[in-house]
Amino acid sequence: MFNFFFSLLSHDLGIDLGTANTLVYVKGKGILIREPSVVARHKKTKQVVAIGREAKKMLGKTPDTIEAIRPLKDGVISDFDATAAMLKYYIGIVHEHPKTKFLPNIPRPKVVIGIPSGVTEVERRAVQEAAIMAGAREAYLIEEPMAAAIGAKLPIQDSSGSFICDIGGGTTEIAVLALGGIVVNRSIRTAGDEMDDAIVTFIRVKYGILIGEPTAEAVKIAVGSAYPVGKGDRQAVVRGRDIETGLPRSIRVSESEIREALAPIIQEIIEAISETMEETPPELVGDILEHGIVLAGGGSLIRGIDKLIATETKMPVWITDDPQTAVVRGCGKLLDDAELLRHVKVAQRKV
C-alpha cells in the first residue's frame, strides 16, 4: 500500500553515477540534471556546503575548514556519506513539488543506476545502499557498457554482435554484446582522470609549472587531441605556479604537445580494445567488422580519437550521438521496458 502511494508521488529515475559527472534522467521528462560529481563540506561537522557545479568551483581553492571532494574514484564509491548526500540532493531537486515538500521523505522513486562492469560485489552493494539511503524504494544496477549500448540504440538483443567502448572519467568500459547479454568485456581504470593527470605531469616536467586538475581538464577540452585533424595547431593559455620561483607564470601550449601528453593513456585504451577483440568469438568478429566499434562517454569527444582507433585496429569506428549521455539514456529507456530491465540487471534492491 505504502509503495503504491510512494510511486504515485515519485518520478522514476535513471542515474549515471559517474566519476566526473552525475546525470539524472526523469521518466517522461528526459535528462534534467547534468552536474559534476563533487561535494564540498565542513571537515569537522561533515555538513554539506555545496554540491555539483558550485562545489567544483571550490576544487583546489578551499580553506582549512572546508574540503571539496569527488566522492567517486575509478567508477566506484570512495566516500559513502558524500555519495548518499549527493544522490539525496538530486532526488530532492527532481521531486520538489508544492504538494509534497511539507511531507518528509515522501518521494520514493525507482532508480536504475549504471555501474562499471568490473566492480566487486561489495562495491555494488555500496551503490545500492547509497541509493536506498538517498530515498529510493527500488535500486536496480546495470553495467555501464550495456546501458551505453542501449542508449546508443545498438541492436543488443539480436544475434549479431555489437562492440561498445565507453570512455568515462574514471573507467573505460569495453564490451561485445549479443542476444541481450555481454559476451566479452573489459573494464580498465584508465580514462579521463588519467588524461588530466598526464597533462599535469607533462606541463610540470616540460615547463616547470604546477597546475591543478581543473586547469588540466580545461586544457584537455580546449586543445585535447589524439590524431592530427585539420590544418593548424590550436593553442591554449595555461596559468600556474613556477616550481623554481614560486611565482605565477603563464605559457602557451599547443595541440601537438597535449597530443603527446595524452598518447600513452589513449594507447592503453586501444590495447584494451585489441585484447577484447582477441577474446571475441570469430562469428561475432565478422559482425563487428561490418557494423564497427561504437564510442561513447566524454572521452570519445577527444579530437581525432575515433580516427586513431580506426587506424590502429583497422576497423570502422563511429561516435554515438551525444556520447556523454549514452549511459543515462540507456538507464532511462530501461524504466520504460520492465522486461528488458529484468533481463539485463545485475543486481536489485528494494526497501
Domain count, the chain: 2
- CA distances from residue 279 to 42, 106, 130, 175, 185 in whole angstroms, order as listed: 48, 48, 35, 11, 9
Segments forming the whole domain that contains residue 173: 153-320
What is the DSSP track for 253-286?
EEHHHHHHHHHHHHHHHHHHHHHHHHHS-HHHHH
For residues 170 and 268, state if they share a domain.
yes
Instruction: Kindly state whether residues 311 and 332 are assigned to the same domain.
Output: no
* Same domain flag for 306 and 338: no
Range of lowest pLDDT (12-16, 102-106, 119-123): 102-106
Mean predicted confidence (pLDDT) in 301-321: 95
Q: Do residue 333 and residue 312 come from a single domain? A: no
When pLDDT is cut at 50, 70 and 90, the band that residue 107 belongs to is low
What pLDDT score does 3 carry?
52
Residues 14 and 141 in one domain: yes
Residue 181 has pLDDT above 50, yes or no: yes
Same domain, 136 and 184: no
pLDDT band at 183 (very low <50, low <70, confident <90, very high): very high
pLDDT tens digits for 45-102? 999 999 999 999 998 888 999 999 999 988 888 999 999 999 989 888 887 743 333 3
pLDDT for the residue numbered 101: 39
Task: Give the CA count within 13 Å in the CB-facing half-sphere of 23.
Answer: 22
Q: Tell whether 110 and 243 lie within a shared domain.
A: no
**How far is the C-alpha of 268 from the C-alpha of 316, rounded, in Å?**
19
pLDDT tens digits along 140-179: 999 999 999 999 999 999 999 999 999 999 999 999 999 9
The predicted model scores a pTM of 0.90
Residue 321 DSSP code = S
Q: What percent of the chain has pLDDT over 70?
A: 93
CATH code for the domain in which residue 46 is found: 3.30.420.40
